Amino acid sequence: MKLLLADIFANEAWPLLAGLALLLALAALALWAHRRGVRAARAAAEREAAAQIKVGERRARELEQEAERLRFLLEKQKQERPASPETGGTAGLGQFKELEQERIRLQNIGQEFQEKNKKLWELSTSIHKEKQRVETLRRAIEEKHRVVTDSINYAQRIQRAVLPPDELLPRVLPEHFVLFRPRDIVSGDFYWARQVGRKTVVVAADCTGHGVPGAFMSMLGISFLNEILQGQDDPRAASILEALRAKVKSALRQQGRMGEAQDGMDLALAILDPEARKVEFAGANNPLWLLRRDGLPAPSPDKRDESANGHTLYALKPTKNPIGIFLREKPFAQETLELLPGDRLYLFSDGLPDQVGGPKGDKFKAKRFKQFLLATLDLPMDQQKAALERELDQWIGKHHQVDDILVIGLKP
């Protein structure tokens, strides 16, 4: 399925892309509406039930107090037993009238008690019915949520199918790893690779948003990259980004008007030439990092960033423009570096540096990421990936993943 969909996208099957995009957008809207409905229905039911229970509890306490007072007065009446009005004189007659009035009042209280008890029973029955209604609503919403989630899970299968197949990467890339962790079921980050003649084009991209909206943008990006590279014999990094920007702006109808969508993507693109031992880089807001052993020629003194463990990390800076509309738009720049034995290259999105964690809930940050890469560069690429995953899991701890995470490591 992966190879079939990859071929479909390579042949510019725009109707299929539109259908997939519509599926993702409808699934996102439905999931958002259902989740909001769940929260609203539960909150309303809980508030109503809590209010009714408070009223019932208050009335129950009042009735208990009245019943206690009634028992006390009846007991008092039995103990006093006044003289009859014929033998007790004026004082006995007055006391008898008071007790008669008290008897009538207590009788009225008893009737009121029965009425309140009846209302309390009705209130209890109403609460029980309301709980049943809320439970029925909860089950219905959960079923709808399951249906929507199943649809998004299927969308995940589609998105993974249009990413480079696992069997393709070892054929077109040198020793490498790809750490890919979507925050939600589907991802706004994507990676892409394609062999063009003797060269290999590698992309690590971060689309606007995450989840279903981000996945929609990622499928646009993959489709456009397939179109741009179709038929090319000698791809150039900056030219690819320029063409990709034009296609995104056209597809999203971005013309720089006030209030229009600012969607797009940031990415790093590297073209590897193993025969010439060179790499050509162009970036849209995202850099390329080069790790090189000390003592070997530096690509440029101003690119030196961090040193440790006998190696230095050099940061190749991107053009500060996204793939999409931008107020201060400028051409994408590219640069070419000679690759030396032992060099390592890293392309990534901002998900890992921005991940919150640790004992204080801080961001992981780029500096910590650089120090980790320098400390583990003696490991083979697959083991470095495993170490990075352990470091990430330990850092997140009790926190939650805040964004999609993508890291590509290459050892050309």
Q: Are 280 and 263 in contact (CB under 8 A)?
A: no
Q: Which fold has domain 164-411?
A: Phosphatase 2c; domain 1 (3.60.40)
pLDDT at 3: 43
| Amino acid type, 374 | L
DSSP one-letter code for 310: T
Element (H, E) at 311: strand 311-316
- Find tokens 């009121």 and name the residue: 112
pLDDT at 395: 97
Task: Report pLDDT digits (tens) over 323-360.
Answer: 999 989 999 999 999 999 999 999 999 999 999 999 99
CA–CA separation, 409 vs 388, rounded Å?
11
Identify the pLDDT of residue 291: 97
Identify whether the C-beta of residue 23 lies closer than 8 Å to the C-beta of residue 155. yes
Q: Where are the beta strands (DSSP E) in 127-264?
A: 175-181, 189-196, 199-207
User: Which pLDDT score is estimated for 1?
Assistant: 46
CA dist., res. 359 & res. 397, Å (int): 9
How many other CB atoms sit within 10 Å of the CB of residue 28?
A: 23
Output the pLDDT for position 287. 97
pLDDT at 15: 52
Q: How many residues does the chain have?
A: 412
What value, to the nearest 5°, has the Cα angle with vertex 15 and ends 22 and 164?
A: 85
Yes or no: say if 349 and 364 are a contact pair by the CB < 8 Å rule.
no
What is the reported pLDDT for 192?
96
- Amino acid at position 24, single letter: L
Q: Looking at residue 8, what is its pLDDT?
A: 43
Q: Which residues of the chain are modeled with pLDDT < 70?
A: 1-35, 37-38, 41-42, 45-46, 49-50, 52-53, 55-57, 59-60, 63-64, 66-67, 70-71, 73-74, 76-93, 95-96
Separation between Cα atoms, residue 273 and residue 338, nearest integer Å: 10
Q: Residue 4: its pLDDT value, please?
A: 41
